[in-house]
Amino acid sequence: MDNFEFHLPTRIIFGNGSFSKFAAETARVAQKVILVTGRGSVRQLGLLDKALQLLERAKVEVVIFDRIEPNPRAHTIDEGAAIAGAEKCGAVVALGGGSAMDAAKGIALVAASGGSVWDYVRKGPGIMRPLSSALPIITVPTIAATGSEANSGAVITNEATKEKGVIFGKPLYPVTAVIDPALTASLPPNLTADGGVDILCHLLESYFTGNNESPIQDRITESIARVVIEETPKAVRNGGDLSARANLSWASTLALSGIPESGRMGSFPLHGIEHSLSGHYDISHGRGLAILLPVLMDYTCAKRPERYTQLGERVFGLDLSGATPEEGARQSIAVMRQWLEGLGIELTLRSLGINEERFEQMANDALRLYGRGKDFLENPRPLYKDDIIAIFRAAL
């Protein structure tokens, strides 16, 4: 097992109906807040009105910032931060999916520490502004996917350059996450599926790339992954299945909370590659992951067949006792594809209207933003520029 430090400072309030508690939680932190949300669904679902009523009852003054796009843009976040500063807001409340939560973190950071949010994005060793402080953040997720509700990351897109990069830092941990799975019941099947895939990939990145001597981490990962494999199709079929929604919401939070992979860190090559894809083409992050995941598994499989066989046996329940590691790995990849297709996902880039045109630029971006100063992404089979382009081609 690798050495690690683990500290999750976010207080988590979880359960169907817990939404009603978020305003009182907010009042403990600030008397005036900026409420950050997307451009449509939260208002259309009536959640914004409910949130405003609850905040009024808790005597918290609110400035609404409802301009966050999926794959949130740096310039929109900077505008939100300017408003939060001018209005002297004492905290930031995020009500929405990963995009609203990440944008809220960016707003909280820039409002407290200045500059543009893009200054803080990791662009290689040392090429970023250090994070000093941020306004307190309260998250109320409406999608089970990113885990942003209780982690210290934010993923930001630079619209001008099409780069999509990450910010990490202790000031970005939300003070409180109020996780009400019932808020996710309105998600349509495609977004539910994309969210399930995102959760699964958060679990599998370190499982595929981390060390082989961490049975606690492996078993935690496999248990949550198995639940995601079982529950996502239920929520896709019946959005109102609140039991499935609760399981996915908690899986989302746990998967990227640091718990599963502490001691088995590994790397996040699939995310590095996918972020270039959604940065350039503005597609759903989970959809991009679904298309790339089996391709990356195929590409890497010969380097770690036992690992993939273990996934097939423990997560998908395959009987691979008579199979060689290579055969086991192939069957695991096949069952992964079937599962993804069973969610209604078409596993090709062409289905999203994407062609080869930008593959080279996307590979360069992935290496610059996620290569940690090296000319490859860390993976059991290291991914150099040509490898990343080959993965995009195989995903066409």
| In the complex, residue closest to Zn ion by CB | 198
Residue 278's nearest CA partner among 292, 266, 265 is 292
Question: Do the Cβ atoms of 310 and 214 come closer than 8 Å?
Answer: no
Question: Per-residue string for binding with ligand NZQ, 233-252, x by CB under 6 A?
Answer: --------------------
CB of 255 to ligand NZQ, least distance (A): 9
Q: Which one of 73, 264, 280, 285 is in contact with ligand NZQ (CB under 6 A)?
A: 285
Spatial separation of the C-alpha atoms in residues 193 and 291, rounded to whole Å: 12
Closest C-alpha to 103, from 47, 50, 148: 148
- Work out whether 328 is an interface residue with ligand NZQ (CB under 6 A): no
C-alpha dihedral (156, 10, 176, 148), degrees to nearest 10: 30
Outline where the chain has alpha helix (H). Answer: 22-27, 41-44, 47-57, 74-86, 98-113, 189-209, 215-237, 242-255, 269-281, 285-300, 305-314, 325-342, 359-370, 385-395
How far is Cα 299 from Cα 377, in angstroms, rounded to an integer?
A: 13
Could you tell me which stretch among 119-127, 184-192, 332-340, 344-352 binds ligand NZQ (CB under 6 A)? 184-192
Which of Zn ion, ligand NZQ, none is residue 267 near (CB under 5 to 8 Å by kind)?
none
How many C-beta atoms surround the C-beta of residue 238 within 10 A? 14
Residue carrying the six token digits 């794959």: 71
- What distance in Å separates the CA atoms of residue 22 and residue 54, rounded to the nearest whole number? 8
- Residue 187 as a binder of ligand NZQ (CB under 6 A): the answer is yes
Asked whether 114 and 84 are in contact (CB, 8 A), the reply is no
Length of the chain as a residue count: 396
Q: Is 149 in the site for Zn ion (CB under 5 A)?
A: no
Binding ligand NZQ (rule: CB under 6 A), the pick from 23, 34, 42, 295 is 42
**What torsion, rounded to 10 degrees, do the Cα atoms 320, 325, 328, 330 define?**
-170
Segment contacting ligand NZQ by CB under 6 A, of 78-86, 131-139, 146-154, 204-212: 146-154
Scan residues 194-213 and list those touching Zn ion (CB under 5 A): 198
Q: Which does 99 bind (CB under 5 to 8 A by kind): ligand NZQ, Zn ion, none?
A: ligand NZQ
Judged by CB, which is closer to ligand NZQ: 102, or 313?
A: 102
Residue 209 is a binding residue for ligand NZQ (CB under 6 A): no
Least distance to ligand NZQ, CB of residue 392, Å: 17
The token pair at 329 is 């790995």
Return the one option of Zn ion, ligand NZQ, none that residue 136 interacts with (CB less than 5 to 8 A, by type). Answer: none
130 binds, among Zn ion, ligand NZQ, none (CB under 5 to 8 A by kind): none
Position among 35, 74, 80, 97 found at the interface with ligand NZQ (CB under 6 A): 97
At CA 62, angle to CA 60 and CA 64, rounded to 5?
A: 155
CB nearer to ligand NZQ: pick between 135 and 323: 135
Candidates 10, 18, 26, 146: give the one binding ligand NZQ (CB under 6 A). Answer: 146
Radius of gyration of the chain from Cα atoms? 20
Stretch that binds Zn ion, among 193-201, 203-211, 214-222, 317-325 (CB under 5 A): 193-201
Nearer to ligand NZQ, 41 or 113 (CB): 41
- Binding positions for ligand NZQ, rule: CB under 6 A: 38-42, 70-71, 96-100, 102, 142-143, 145-148, 151, 153-155, 183-184, 186-187, 191, 195, 198, 256, 271, 278, 285-286
- Binding positions for Zn ion, rule: CB under 5 A: 198
